[in-house]
């Protein structure tokens, strides 16, 4: 089945009928000069330079935007050409020339560049796949070829007949390629589209989206229809899926989940088992959150030998080495966030992990530290009270309980009992001093991440089945956790058998609704319903790097519906970031989004059954709705009806909403990242072939003033908006604070205190203008 992209591709190889139109004297001079040149074709042949072919190529790009003049673009291209250039190099020069014309005044040049890049990709794909026209080729033959060279999983053709593949090929919409701006299309082609063994483009954008959709739909009863629905949501850029899903769906090793969370116990076997799990997760592109709060502190006893323990830092350095070593086929280092409780004796060493001062043997520069903070600590900071640090091993030995295994009032009772016991070693330090260390590290390095553990557990809809100890690499996942335990190891005639009891090894399956393209409630509801179903399918169609991940994923069936295009949405609606209107509007909007997510999961539960632990959950008892004040009201969601439906039918997914950073996939969608404000309305990004100017989405005279830049925003408004959203987010949000070097310590502290008081569960990076921090690629959705 051959699908052609009609008007985008005609005439690329032939002279344009308009090429003989009168041109300015300067261009005539260039034409005469250029026609003395020769060019080198991809196969090494030399032929005379064709002015008409190049001008036709440029004209096709300029047709992407009405009123953009091919002669202006050509004037920037001609001076860069030289005799004997390869045709591929000429195309790169033309594309880069269009890119560099992008400006605040003329942002649409990025779409001209995208069209030129697209035409070049069409040409490459046609050559690599052996068909003679410029556009889309035979999708069925592409699948066969990619399967033959090991790039496509054989399971796709096992689930779809030739007729079904032909029907889906006919459904491809090549004109949707025109939705991409330059950065988005280049990101998709460079990082996600499948290439051949010589790194040549094989898969074009719409084929990529269809391949992912076929994977996500292949176990549906009406798989062709659902593949079309998933394709429509992805190809229109109204929804993005997480980087592992977009990258790995349809491939032989289809690890589709973004982030994982594990927690070792206080023993050698458990710690190394976590390290092994991290290595296997990293190998397939996942990020990791690791809670180390059960590991004994530095100077504690081991087997009754006082002072033998090196504490948590040596083990964290071990995880750091794994992150560097398991570098995902050399593409990028693995990534892990490591969390520790603020009452742990090693907390002061922990807060120095990434700083540039102190003993280098106590550093782990590739690890992202996070601190788990109870309400009690924040109250002690506020009242400038004393704080006590304990070793969790010594607490277990002396007190008979694990302090880290409780939260809220129970934690406070246990903590006070520890303080009151004179036989329990402790370190006393003013709470504000620890807070100062947190702030100092955040100012210098952007970390630690903050996890408000009491708030997270208080609002956990599955507290009947466990508790949450920490978050993940991007601070948006909040789910029950427990250690995986080795229960038996036997040997029989040289065969060693190990039995392991799986703990709650957290997995997050993500996708994001692009508010930049979904602006009304009907389209939001439609997309959310499709997203929930697609993410739920990920759970059953995943290649799990470790078996305990599969156990936990089937047990909770947790998903994470996220958001991108948030600032774009506000700017296009004319809502100022620093306003009550912003806070009020997003409170209403996210209530609807959450309502649609719960509704979709309830309908799936009615069709396929609820998750295994639904009975006794806050969903089943109705406590979920009470804690958030959800009741029906005129003009709002019908919460009373939905609560009854959930009690009757259940929900399919134990956790539903989690807002990831989307730093990578929002580029593809041409939207703003996650819930962040834009860093700049216009900026230049340096690439190896030159600079790439980028603008805020749909930047024009109307939206310009609503795109207030991140570091100029009063962060109190960002916290208030985050708090308004948090009520409707059962997990958490990748929420960044943006500060400038001139912020005072008092102002900085006030931001943390406000975040805690307003009920935020996590704080991601502190992004200072003077500090470069890494974006998480694994969680980009």
Q: Which positions are catalytic?
A: 472, 474, 476
The token duo for 575 is 């809502």
The token duo for 595 is 């309502």
Report the candidate in 671, 630, 736, 722 with the shortest Cα–Cα distance to residue 513: 671
**312 to each of 105, 297, 708, how far by Cα in Å?**
53, 6, 42
Q: Class of 267-467 per CATH? A: alpha beta
What per-residue string of b and e applies to 122-150 under the rule 16 or more CB within 10 Å gives b?
bbbbbebbeeeebbbbbbbbbbebbbeee
Query: Alpha-carbon distance 742 to 443, whole Å?
Result: 11
Helices (H), 421-565: 431-445, 453-458, 521-540, 547-556
| Secondary structure of residue 726 in the 3-state scheme | helix
- DSSP line for 616-644: TSHHHHSHHHHHTT----TTS--HHHHHH
Reported confidence tier of residue 14, pLDDT bands at 50, 70, 90: very low
| Secondary structure of residue 180 in the 3-state scheme | coil
Res 35: pLDDT: 81
Residue pointed to by tokens 């795109």 = 707
Whether the predicted pLDDT of 650 surpasses 90: yes
Q: 405-448 pLDDT, tens per residue?
A: 999 999 999 999 999 999 999 999 999 999 999 999 999 999 99
Q: 300-333 pLDDT, tens per residue?
A: 999 989 989 999 999 999 999 999 888 765 556 7
Cβ distance 462 to 618 under 8 Å?
yes
Whether the predicted pLDDT of 12 surpasses 50: no
Whether the predicted pLDDT of 96 surpasses 90: yes
Comparing 26-40, 77-91, 353-367, the range with the smallest average pLDDT is 26-40
Domain boundaries, the chain: 6-236, 267-467
Mean pLDDT in residue range 263-286? 92
Give the CA count within 13 Å in the CB-facing half-sphere of 642.
Answer: 24
DSSP 201: B
Residue 739's DSSP bridge partners are 768
Query: Alpha-carbon distance 699 to 49, whole Å?
Result: 38
Cβ distance 352 to 335 under 8 Å?
no
Residues 741-746: contacts with CB under 8 Å, at least 24 apart:
741/768, 741/769, 741/770, 745/436, 745/439
Mean residue pLDDT of the chain comes to 92
Residue 767's DSSP bridge partners are 738
Res 5: pLDDT: 39
Cβ distance 764 to 736 under 8 Å?
yes
The token duo for 780 is 């980009």
> How large is the angle between the packed helices 205-217 and 139-148, nearest 10 degrees?
80
Q: Which helix (H) or strand (E) holds 486?
A: strand 485-492
Cβ distance 157 to 223 under 8 Å?
no
**CB proximity list for 356: less than 8 A, separation 6 or greater:** 444
How many residues comprise the chain? 781
DSSP 380: H
Query: Alpha-carbon distance 383 to 380, whole Å?
Result: 5
**404 to each of 5, 296, 591, 609, 717, how far by Cα in Å?**
59, 12, 33, 34, 33
Whether the predicted pLDDT of 3 surpasses 60: no
Q: 567-598 pLDDT, tens per residue?
A: 999 999 999 999 999 999 999 999 999 999 99
Report the candidate in 431, 479, 449, 503 with the shortest Cα–Cα distance to residue 339: 449
The Cα angle at residue 206 between residues 202 and 211, in degrees rounded to 5? 75
Query: Alpha-carbon distance 677 to 681, whole Å?
Result: 10
Reported confidence tier of residue 16, pLDDT bands at 50, 70, 90: very low
The token duo for 439 is 């702030």
Query: Alpha-carbon distance 250 to 59, whole Å?
Result: 36
Report the candidate in 343, 471, 361, 351 with the shortest Cα–Cα distance to residue 403: 343
């Amino acid at each position: 089945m051959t699908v052609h992209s009609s008007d985008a591709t005609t005439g690329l190889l032939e002279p344009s009928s308009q090429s003989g139109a009168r041109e300015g004297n300067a261009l005539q001079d260039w034409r005469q000069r250029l026609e003395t040149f020769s060019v080198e074709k991809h196969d090494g042949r030399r032929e005379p330079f064709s002015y008409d072919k190049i001008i036709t190529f440029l004209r096709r790009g300029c047709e992407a935007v009405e009123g953009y003049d091919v002669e202006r673009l050509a004037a920037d291209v001609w001076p860069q050409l030289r005799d004997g250039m390869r045709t591929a190099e000429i195309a790169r020069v033309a594309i880069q020339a269009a890119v560099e014309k992008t400006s605040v005044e003329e942002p649409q040049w990025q779409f001209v560049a995208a069209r030129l890049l697209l035409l070049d990709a069409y040409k490459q794909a046609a050559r690599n796949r052996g068909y003679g026209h410029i556009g889309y080729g035979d999708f069925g033959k592409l699948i066969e070829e990619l399967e033959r060279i090991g790039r496509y999983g054989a399971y796709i053709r096992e689930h779809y007949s030739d007729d079904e593949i032909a029907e889906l090929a006919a459904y491809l919409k090549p004109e949707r390629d025109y939705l991409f701006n330059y950065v988005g299309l280049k990101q998709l082609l460079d990082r996600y589209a499948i290439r051949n063994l010589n790194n040549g483009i094989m898969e074009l954008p719409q084929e990529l989206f269809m391949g992912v959709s076929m994977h996500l739909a292949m176990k549906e009863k009406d798989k062709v229809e659902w593949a079309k629905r998933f394709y429509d949501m992805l190809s229109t850029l109204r929804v993005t899926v997480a980087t592992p899903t977009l990258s790995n769906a349809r491939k032989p090793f289809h690890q589709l989940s973004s982030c994982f969370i594990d927690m070792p116990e206080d023993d050698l076997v458990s710690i190394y088992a976590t390290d092994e799990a991290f290595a296997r997760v990293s190998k397939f592109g996942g990020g990791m959150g690791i809670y180390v709060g059960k590991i004994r502190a530095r100077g504690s006893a081991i087997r009754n030998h006082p002072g033998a323990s090196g504490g948590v830092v040596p083990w964290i350095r071990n995880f750091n080495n794994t992150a560097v070593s398991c570098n995902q086929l050399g593409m990028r280092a693995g990534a892990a966030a490591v969390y520790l409780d603020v009452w742990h004796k090693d907390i002061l060493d922990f807060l120095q992990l990434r700083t540039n001062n102190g003993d280098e043997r106590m550093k782990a520069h590739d690890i992202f530290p996070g601190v788990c903070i109870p309400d009690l600590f924040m109250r002690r900071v506020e009242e400038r009270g004393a704080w006590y640090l304990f070793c969790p091993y010594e607490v277990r030995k002396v007190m008979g309980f694990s302090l880290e295994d409780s939260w809220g009032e129970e934690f406070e009772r246990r903590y006070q009992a520890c303080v009151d016991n004179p036989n329990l070693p402790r370190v006393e330090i003013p709470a504000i001093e620890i807070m100062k260390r947190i702030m100092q590290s955040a100012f210098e390095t952007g970390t630690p991440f903050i996890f408000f553990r009491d708030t997270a557990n208080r609002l956990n809809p599955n507290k009947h089945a466990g508790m949450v100890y920490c978050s993940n690499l991007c601070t948006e996942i909040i789910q029950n956790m427990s250690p995986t335990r080795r229960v038996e190891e036997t040997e029989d005639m040289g065969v060693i058998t190990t039995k392991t009891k799986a703990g709650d090894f957290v997995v997050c399956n993500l996708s994001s609704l692009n508010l930049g393209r979904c602006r009304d409630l009907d389209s939001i509801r439609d997309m959310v319903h499709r997203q929930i179903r697609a993410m739920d399918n990920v759970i059953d169609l995943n290649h799990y790097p470790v078996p305990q991940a599969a156990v936990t994923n089937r047990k909770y069936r947790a998903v994470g519906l996220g958001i991108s295009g948030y600032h774009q949405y506000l700017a296009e609606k004319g809502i100022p970031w620093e306003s009550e209107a912003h806070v009020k509007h997003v409170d209403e909007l996210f209530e609807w989004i959450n309502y649609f997510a719960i509704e979709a999961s309830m309908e799936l539960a009615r069709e396929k059954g609820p998750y295994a632990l639904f009975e006794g959950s806050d969903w089943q008892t109705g406590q979920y709705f009470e804690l958030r004040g959800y009741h029906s009201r005129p003009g709002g969601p019908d919460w009373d009806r939905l609560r009854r439906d959930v009690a009757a039918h259940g929900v399919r997914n134990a956790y539903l909403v989690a807002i990831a950073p989307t730093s990578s996939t929002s580029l593809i969608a041409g939207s703003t990242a996650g819930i962040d404000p834009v860093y700049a309305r216009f900026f230049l990004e340096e690439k190896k072939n030159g600079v790439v100017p980028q603008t805020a989405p749909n930047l024009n005279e109307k939206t310009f003033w609503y795109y207030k830049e991140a570091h100029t925003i009063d962060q109190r408004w960002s916290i208030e908006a985050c708090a308004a959203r948090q009520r409707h987010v059962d997990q958490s949000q990748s929420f960044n604070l943006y500060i400038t070097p001139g912020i005072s310590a008092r102002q900085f502290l006030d931001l943390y205190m406000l975040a805690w008081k307003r009920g935020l569960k996590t704080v991601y990076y502190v992004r200072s203008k003077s500090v470069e921090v890494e974006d998480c690629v694994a969680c980009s959705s």
